[in-house]
Structures are given as C-alpha cells and as structure tokens.
Amino acid sequence: MTSTRRSVQLKHARRLFITRQRLAGPQPTPDRAGILETIRDLRCLQLDPTSAVARSHLIVLWSRLGSFDPLVLERLAYEERVLFEFWAHQASLVLAEDFPIHQFAMRTDIKSDAAWRERTREWIAANPKLRDHILRELRKRGPLRAREIEDVSEAPWHSSGWTNERNVGRMLDLMSVQGKTLVSRREGGQKLWDLGERCLPPKLDRKKLPAREVVRQATRLALRALGAARLAHIREHFTRGRYPDLPDVLAKMTAKGEVVPLQVLDGKEALKGDWYMNAEELPLLESIEDGWWEPRTTLLSPFDNLICGRDRTEEMFDFHF
C-alpha cells in the first residue's frame, strides 16, 4: 500500500480539515438550512453543561454561522425530531438520519466486554422493578424529569462521582444507551425524558445494518469531517470507540476506490502512520494545493469538533491544548 499512497503536504491537510469543518470557504447561512448543512458536515454537536459564555454546541455553530437563532436548533431537535440526543464522541446532538449507525451502539454497547459495562449490566439486572416502573411512568405521564419519577430501586447505584445513589437518573442514562429512553426536550437545561420511540421521527429508517456496513458508513462520515486522518483519529471521532475491524473495513474501502491512502509530509519529513481520505474529496484537495484558500478568523469552544481530539490537534497543528 505504501507505494500507492498519495502524498500531501501537512499545510494542505490542515486546510482540507479546516474547510471540511466549515471554518473556511463559503460561510453557511445562519438559518435552518445552514444549521442542518453544518451539522451534516460535522455529524454531531457535543453537549456540555459548561456555559461561561454559552453552551458549547451553540458556540460551535456560532463559530461557523455567525449570529443565529438558537430556537431554530431547538425546534430541529425537540419538535421536528431531525436531531436527537445520543452518545457520539461524547454526549451530543446527532442526526436522526444517522439512526441506523447509532442503532448499532444501542444493540451492542451494553453487551461489550468492558469491565464497567459488566457492572452496569449487573446493576440493571438487579433492578427490574425500577426499570419497568420508569417505562410505565414515561408511557403514562411522560415527558418527565428524573426527580419526578419515584425511586423504587432495590439495589442502589454506588459511585465516587455525582451519580452516586441517583438511581432513577442512572437508569434513565443506561436505558438511553439502548435507545429505550431518550431526552424529549430541555427546560432551563434540565432533561425531560420520554420513551425513545417518541423522541424520534415517526418515519424513521430503523433498518438493522450489519456491523461492517455500520463501520463503513461511520468511517466515510468521520473522514468527511476530518479531511485526512489516521486510524486513531477515525476511532476517536463521530462514533467514538465504535469501529470494530476498522483496518479491514478501510482496506476494503480502499480496494473499491472509496478511500485514498495518503502520506502526509511536513516538508520532506513524513508524519507517522498511514493516512486516509474520502476519494470524493480529491477535487477539493487539488483545489487547495493549486492555491485556493478562503480562511476566516473566529473563536472556538474548547469542545469544538476541530480540536476535540487533543492528540490529533497536537499532531496536526503542533498545538497542545
């Protein structure tokens, strides 16, 4: 594969990344269409309670759109159901059109071999009464805040963190990983929970994709957002930690011409590892190499998609966050 890799200078790989992140080039319009266009390029907006200036997901959009109406984003998520809250590379707003990809996590994450997952499975199994009670209450009364649901747990959740003995909230979180409960809306930052089926569009593609097809689609979307990336970067982006058999999937995508293997050069020195990009991005890369570049200056949230991978940020920009 090494002999067939396309060479690209680090400067151009950076510019490709920044452009695909919608931080260079034509600025999206600050309306519903522009918000959706931007999210489709980023694929997820990380949610975080920190709001010294504003909530992170709002800053991420502001950095790309300029001033926009946050109520439009809320309507997309909590009325139109075009977006929903789920775990991407962290707790995020994700696209309902990506449901077949996220459904894979709903089916498999709780079954993983990780020690913490085994503990959660044991705790859920010890609390069938609480689980069933929550589902009944939501079906009958939802949407509800966690504190509006009676705690009928039989075995408390123990943690050294803020979730200690917050049994209802913990069960809601764990069932949301399986898609059984999801956030219906937020009021003053507080989550109102409901049955997962009510928090998604009624006409939703619920087709269960094979694992490798999920990884292929997620890889294509992650590379779209990253421009050029190594395996480690892909694994940490979009559907973080959910790329089983990624090397083999990438090899097959390369053989089909969907992905182009790259060698990234800083001058004459090659950066470590094999890099990849979507073949469909070649015209944009060639345009950048030919001198096209329309940069902008803006401010970024600490959780911005451009810099959320701290190791990649240092590797590509020589910047330690």
With cut-offs at 50, 70 and 90, classify the pLDDT of residue 207: confident
Residue 81 pLDDT more than 60? yes
pLDDT in tens, 105-155: 999 887 777 777 888 899 999 999 999 999 999 999 989 999 999 999 999
Cα(281)–Cα(220) distance, rounded to whole angstroms?
Answer: 11
Q: Does the N-terminal peptide bond of residue 143 adopt cis geometry, omega within 30 degrees of 0?
A: yes
Read off the pTM. Answer: 0.93
Please report, rounded to a whole number, the percentage of residues in the chain having pLDDT higher than 70. 99
In the prediction, which pLDDT does 48 show? 87
Residue 14 pLDDT more than 60? yes
pLDDT in tens, 253-301: 999 999 999 999 999 999 999 999 999 999 999 999 999 999 999 999 9
Buried b (16+ CB within 10 A) or exposed e, 273-286: ebbbbbeebeebbe
Task: Please give the average per-residue pLDDT across 232-242, as a whole number.
Answer: 94
pLDDT in tens, 176-199: 999 999 999 999 889 999 999 999
CA 122 to chain CA centroid, nearest Å: 27
Residue 3 pLDDT more than 60? no
In the prediction, which pLDDT does 135 show? 98
Residue 1 pLDDT more than 70? no
- Whether the CA torsion 279, 280, 281, 283 is positive or negative: it is positive
C-beta separation of 43 from 308 below 8 A: no
With cut-offs at 50, 70 and 90, classify the pLDDT of residue 206: confident
Q: How far is CA 32 from CA 77, 98, 204, 307, in A?
A: 12, 18, 20, 25
Beta pairing partners, 9: 265
